């Protein structure tokens, strides 16, 4: 076994600045000041353009421009654990499965690994547990006292094509049941037809229904046809008051990718520079390996700075990512890779 690393692996090392930091987001006693939204600026939205080849070239450099090894990598992976929205969105979900997932959320890394890494004082948990509306009461009960919020997928997830009134009622029902975060899905048709006013009005209505619950707007980027549409949909969703913008439901043929993510975080940066309000980012769907998770952390650090490496401004939507992160942490501790069944989710 390798020698025991320093306490807490000096997590601050993952915060070493790559370049001068941008201005910090507005902070309140409760954290980052919520984005209240702005009036829809159609002139700005319609003039947004994306150079696809430039985006793809930049995205291709993200995995190669930065690398972390040994205790540095372990520190970044522990940070990644704290950013996971641990998710179960299956048709065969049961209260028992959800309760076991919540237990994993509260203790996401095996106790022997936590002890070997010397990070007991971190009291590490995931960022949230994400479930269907029907499972919100079960998850809220299972997570009582942990401080971990429950996120509910809503608004006719994943297609988002149920009647508008039903989608709004679903949001309100999830909030009433105890969900602190709501992941809504937009109507893709509004984007594909360029009906930005309808998209703005829809997301604004969802935001009002969320009340104090934070709202993550799922764009379903794999179904928006162009990177330009991804940029415009991102900006409209933020103008309408989204607390986060999210790539995917995880049910599309193409989910989170680095090119989609680069476009979205650049829009977050533009919105922040124009308004002073920080909006969070959540890539979701297909992020299964620790290596892939690190690439998204590199992207956030390079494009938005260290403040976007905390749970109030960044989340991974994932169900199996945690398993691979635990395997990598065990390799750091023991020098050997373990089988996935040694790190069960439920």
Return the active site residues: 183, 246, 282
CA–CA gap between residue 64 and residue 299 (Å, rounded): 11
Q: Which helix (H) or strand (E) is 234 found in, with range?
A: helix 227-239
> Which residues, in sequence order, are bridge partners of residue 280?
244
The number of helix segments (H) and strand segments (E) in the chain equals: 13, 10
CA–CA gap between residue 314 and residue 327 (Å, rounded): 23
Reading the block at residue 233, the tokens are: 């949909």
**Nearest CA among 276, 280, 283 for reference residue 312:** 280
Angle, alpha carbons 159-160-164 (nearest 5°):
155
CA–CA gap between residue 14 and residue 298 (Å, rounded): 10
Instruction: Say if strands 181-185 and 150-153 run parallel, antiparallel, or are unpaired.
Output: parallel
């Amino acid at each position: 076994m390798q020698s025991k690393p320093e306490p807490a692996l000096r997590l601050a090392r993952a915060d070493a600045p790559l370049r001068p930091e941008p201005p910090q987001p507005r902070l309140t006693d409760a954290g980052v000041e919520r984005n209240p939204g702005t009036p829809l600026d159609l002139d700005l939205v319609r003039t947004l353009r994306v150079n696809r080849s430039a985006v793809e070239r930049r995205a291709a450099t993200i995995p190669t421009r930065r690398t972390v090894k040994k205790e540095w990598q372990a520190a970044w992976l522990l940070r990644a654990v704290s950013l996971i929205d641990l998710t179960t969105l299956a048709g065969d979900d049961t209260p028992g499965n959800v309760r076991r997932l919540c237990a994993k959320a509260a203790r996401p890394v095996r106790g022997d690994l936590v002890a070997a890494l010397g990070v007991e004082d971190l009291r590490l948990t995931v960022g949230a547990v994400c479930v269907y509306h029907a499972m919100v009461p079960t998850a809220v009960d299972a997570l009582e006292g942990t401080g971990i919020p429950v996120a509910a997928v809503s608004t006719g997830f994943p297609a988002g094509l149920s009647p508008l009134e039903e989608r709004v009622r679903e949001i309100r029902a999830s909030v009433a049941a105890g969900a602190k975060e709501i992941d809504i899905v937009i109507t893709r048709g509004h984007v594909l037809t360029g009906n930005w006013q309808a998209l703005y009005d829809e997301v604004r209505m969802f935001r009002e229904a969320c009340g104090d619950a934070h709202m993550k707007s799922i764009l379903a980027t794999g179904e928006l046809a162009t990177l330009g549409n991804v940029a415009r949909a991102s900006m409209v969703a933020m103008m309408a008051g989204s607390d986060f913008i999210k790539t995917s439901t995880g049910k599309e043929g193409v989910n989170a990718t680095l090119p989609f993510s680069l476009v979205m975080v650049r829009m977050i940066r533009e919105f922040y520079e124009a308004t002073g309000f920080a909006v969070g980012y959540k890539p979701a769907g297909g992020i299964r390996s620790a290596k892939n998770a690190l690439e998204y952390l590199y992207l956030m650090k390079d494009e938005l700075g260290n403040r976007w490496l905390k749970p109030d401004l960044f989340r991974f939507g994932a169900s199996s990512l945690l398993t691979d992160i635990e395997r990598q942490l065990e390799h750091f501790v023991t020098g050997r890779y373990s089988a996935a069944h040694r790190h069960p989710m439920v």
